[in-house]
Chains A and B, each alone.
Chain A
Amino acid sequence: MILNEEQQLLKDSAKAFLSESAPISALRAMRDAGEDHMPELWTKMSEMGWPGIVIPDAYSGLEFGYVGAGVVLEEMGRALALSPFLSSAVVAASLINQLGTEQQKEKYLPGIASGELTAVLAADETGYFDLSSIETTATASGDDYVLFGNKRGVIDGHNADLLLVVTGGDEGMSVFAVESGASGISCETRLIVDSQRAADITLDSVTVDGDALLGTLGGASDAMEFTIDVAAACSAAEMLGISIETFERTVGYLKEREQFGNKIGTFQGLQHRAAQLFAEIEVSKSAVLAALQALDSNSEKRSVLASMAKAKCSKVVRNATEEGVQMHGGIGMTDEFDIGFFMKRAAVCRQAYGDYHFHADRFASLRGY
């Protein structure tokens, strides 16, 4: 369970690039300007080929696998770099690759791989990622389908070019690739805590042609399970990065801040909590790597490991960001200081693609109880 040379190189170069191009000050500036995404950063990431990391070579991707995507996401978590990398290049691309026909893959994947096209999964309707009772419908009308429904909290959904709309109904789950500008789509956005916007999307009689249906009608369940695994493991990787960075900043502060005539890092009460957190982060590292490797090998333990990683990292990042603020004391609560940004992004990552409770529950079910 170690990174191979190529994976390590990718991680190192991602780290170098992000510390240069996506410092926390850039996120702060974006927020202060009232913006909700960073298009220039995405252009630079695209120039480096990152959007193609998990996409097969046949569709102009790098075919670098999920461990590759994970190491980049870990570094993105460290830098709090905002981009459609996870939502479009990893999650949406994986769903299209799993479910699409040859023709559909050729239509969408090269665009996603180049970064010019961004796609986003529009599945959840409940606000807590309950995909068991999707009410959005697709009704056949000649060669076309007509879609009705409401999708909630699609992060950055208003900036995406393509929505992967999940529909339910008697025939089972289906996925439609719908252009975001299609007639009948309306979108309301809400500012969320990490300065991004989440879109509540209404589909009111949206007519798409038969080619928009990815795969077959009602045939999306397995691909959705795979996609949930991808999203969970990769989001866990991002949370791991947030945990590590928050932790390193906090330990740095313990070594420098003085009270009662001593560095506060000499106090055993703080030392033990820091050491405990370090051990938890080490354990979550292994959880993430195993989940990513299981995706690359499509192991039978894939889903169990993915839910384990998401659940574990959700808990650890909560702990890491909370201790990060607490151990910085009053300054940690100020907007002027950066540590709060990590707590805010962590809150969003923890909810993305199923929270701790969703994945702990899924884990138990997959383990047969």
Chain B
Amino acid sequence: MENLETFRQYTRDWLEANCPEDMRQPMRSDEDQCWGGRNWVFKSEGQKLWLERMAEKGWTAPRWPTEYGGGGLSGSEAKILGEEMARIGARRPLSSFGLDMLGPALLLYATEEQKHQYIPDIVNGKIRWCQGYSEPNAGSDLASLRTKAEDMGDHYQINGSKVWTSYADKADWIFCLVRTDFDCPKHEGISFLLFDMASEGVSTKPIKLISGTSPFCETFFDNVQVPKSQLVGTLNKGWEIAKYLLTHERTMIGGFGLAGGGMKGMGQIAAAKRGKKDGRLRDASLRAEASSFEIDEMAFGLTIERITDETKAGQGTGASSSILKMYGTELNKLRQELLMAISATDALNFDSDSKGALVRSWLRSKANSIEGGTSEVQLNIIAKRILGLPA
């Protein structure tokens, strides 16, 4: 315990000395996130310094082993780091699918050589990854994917297309599910490949969403050549890796259910906008809804904490990511609905500047319960894997 307290003091002092002032301000919108990568243009000197300093310590990936550039922290230490960052309102130095999704899968399934090749550049934000999973005819039924990788002797040749590839147009590399065997049950002929988005034959086309933004792309592969050394795990056994990675994606998306750092509670936001009477929010119906929402939000935050602690203690259930994904995304949709309700007609502004941020984020949230496996798919997983209900 004494060691942990020492670690807390050390961390507090280090953050105090190293976290730039503008990185302690709440993010105003998604635009303030730092994604890194070969083509990243830092929004400020502070953003650059913050990423470099945190990456130098491995604290962008606090729990990953130091030999691959990670922080090598224990679960308790990582929790302290999180608490101390939250205490000063420090932003996350790097948002990254490499950190949230690919890295954990590489740590488990990649060869030693692959780990050394790919993980350090995830930690330091040098390479930005995207996820090649969904296809036009393989959404909820992901395993029916048909993007093909042919064995050409010294390399694989990829043909096909992906859809809903988040930020494919901005990413440097892709982790991609491909079919390497068509003559077997659909789950058994899938492999997990990594390749450079700058490879010849790769093209992307952003998809404009109802929110007016284009976080997703269509991605096309036309005779793309991928060295065989970039296969992760065993040929035709990629589905296992795909599923493992999905549990991380779901947990990450489920985290949307939490209020962002520094965000005021729903009731306080409502009170600031609508006013109070006798110490109570003026609109009684809105007050009741805000209270109900905050109760669920708080209980959900505690659930993430509890499941994290249980996993750490080896008591976790594998399918808990489906609970977090389903619950967190439904909660975030409700949050956006309430924020719209509070601002009422003002919330309808669709200007491209910051005035339209509320309505865009409300529209964007509707994707939360679709991306990474719909709420319905999560309920199927809970029903079958946890409850053991018959097929």
Contact = CB atoms under 8 A, between A and B. Distances in A.
A365 B270 CA distance: 13
Contact of B303 (A254, A274, A286): A286
Contact of B295 (A282, A290, A312): A312
B380 A271 contact: yes
B87 interface: no
A278 B387 contact: yes
Contacts of A364: 267, 280-281, 287-288, 290-291, 294
Contacts of A312: 295-296, 299
Contact of A272 (B298, B315, B379): B379
Please provide the 3 A-B residue pairs with the shortest distance between their CB atoms, ordered closest to farther: A275-B382, A369-B267, A271-B383
Interface stretch (B143-151, B178-186, B306-314): B306-314
B267 A368 contact: yes
A158 B271 CA distance: 45
B323 A2 contact: no
Contacts of B296: 283, 312
A363 interface: yes
Q: Which size class do B's interface residues fall under?
A: 35 or more
10 contacts: A1-B302, A1-B310, A2-B315, A255-B388, A265-B390, A275-B380, A275-B386, A311-B292, A360-B292, A364-B280
A255 B389 contact: yes
Contact of A271 (B303, B327, B379): B379
A37 interface: no
A367 B265 contact: yes
A190 interface: no
Interface of A: 1-2, 251, 254-255, 263, 265-266, 268, 271-272, 274-276, 278-279, 282-287, 289-290, 304-305, 308-309, 311-312, 360-361, 363-365, 367-369
B388 to A, nearest CB: 7
Contacts of B320: 282
B271 to A, nearest CB: 5
B268 interface: yes
B326 interface: yes
A284 B291 CA distance: 16
Secondary structure dominating the interface of B: helix
A1 B379 contact: no
Contacts of B309: 1-2
B266 to A, nearest CB: 9
A285 B389 CA distance: 22
A308 B386 contact: no
B335 to A, nearest CB: 15
B300 interface: yes
Interface string B122-151: 000000000000000000000000000000
A287 B302 contact: yes
B376 interface: yes
Given A272-B376, A278-B382, A368-B268, A360 B389 contact: no
B383 A274 contact: yes
Given A272-B379, A308-B298, A365-B279, A1 B305 contact: yes
Contacts of A282: 303, 320, 323
B390 A278 contact: no
Contacts of B270: 369
Nearest to B270: A369
A279 B276 contact: no
B292 A266 contact: no
A272 B387 CA distance: 11
Contact of B288 (A268, A271, A360): A360
Given A289-B306, A367-B268, A274 B299 contact: no
A266 B267 contact: no
B17 interface: no
Nearest to B294: A367
A283 B327 contact: yes
Contacts of A278: 323, 382, 386-387
Contacts of B305: 1, 286
A274 B387 contact: yes
Nearest to B386: A278
Nearest to A268: B380
Nearest to B267: A369
B391 interface: yes
B295 A279 contact: no
